[in-house]
Amino acid sequence: MSTIDLAKINADIGRDAPALVKWALGLNQPAIVTTNFRPFEAVILHLVTQVNPDVPVVWMDNGYNTEATYRFADEVTKQLKLNLKIYLPRRSRAHREAVEGPTPALDDPRHAAFTEEVKLEPFARALRETAPKVWFTALRATDTAVRAQMDPVSINPDGLIKVAPLLHWTSKDLYHYCELHGLPNNFDYVDPTKGEENRECGLHLAH
């Protein structure tokens, strides 16, 4: 792969999601898209699979999703014929709760170990097994202060090309895209590693 001129790519097509997806998949490198099936996730999944239907879709099912999220995951997977790869924690939720009790609160020292077990270790495993060179997410600038400073395309210290085609989309843009393409949505979403909105839990920061 020849050297990527990040500044140029970001300036030229950083705000053109379909063009960015085409460019990234046109690198002909192994790619993945991660999803937690939060609101509007059908948009990134549709954008990517329109260009390449076989891209592995990585979901770490932490075992704490709402029923609506599980139904949404199944519905989108079926509608878009996703190549879904589910990564589960090494221990079931029932096992963990039997010996350690319910989800530790954010200020509980055990919270970090909980996040590691249900989210970060499964993601590290997914990265090892899928060995991507390109990683698509639906990160948005409005999510957190860190993301507000990001570029749509960046390269991490391991050389992984991180692509966030929806970085500058608003909820309204995402809503209209779903309407236009007949995509389902899911607003009943919770992440047990985040007690509040606008919190970074390390997955995206660590990679």
Residues interacting with ligand PPS, by CB under 6 A?
34-36, 38, 41, 58-60, 62, 119, 137-139, 191, 200-205
Minimum CB distance to ligand PPS, residue 34 (Å): 3
Question: What is the four-CA torsion angle of 12, 16, 17, 19, rounded to 10 degrees?
Answer: -60
Cα separation, 48 vs 17, in Å, equals 10
Least distance to ligand PPS from the beta carbon of 149, Å? 14
Q: Considering the complex, what minimum distance in angstroms separates the CB of residue 143 from ligand PPS? A: 6
Please indicate whether residue 201 is annotated as part of the active site. Answer: yes
Strands 161-163 and 153-155: antiparallel
Q: Which of 66, 147, 201, 207 is catalytic?
A: 201
Residue number, 3 or 172, with CB nearest to ligand PPS: 172
Task: State how far the alpha carbon of 87 is from the alpha carbons of 94, 102, 141, 180, in Å.
Answer: 17, 21, 27, 31
Taking the complex as a whole, how short is the minimal distance between the CB of residue 5 and ligand PPS, in angstroms? 25
- Taking the least distance from each CB to ligand PPS, the nearer of 23 and 39 is 39
Residue 139, CA distances (Å) to 18, 43, 156, 160, 162 in order: 15, 12, 15, 16, 10
What is the layout of strands, in order, in the sheet containing 56-60? Answer: 83-87, 56-60, 31-34, 134-136, 161-163, 153-155
* CB-nearer residue toward ligand PPS: 137 or 186: 137
Nearest to ligand PPS of 76, 139 (CB atom): 139
Q: Smaller CB distance to ligand PPS: residue 3 or 196?
A: 196
Token code pair at residue 137: 């997410």
* C-alpha span between 202 and 99 (Å, rounded): 25
Q: How far is the CB of 2 from ligand PPS (least distance, A)?
A: 27
Q: Which residues are catalytic?
A: 201
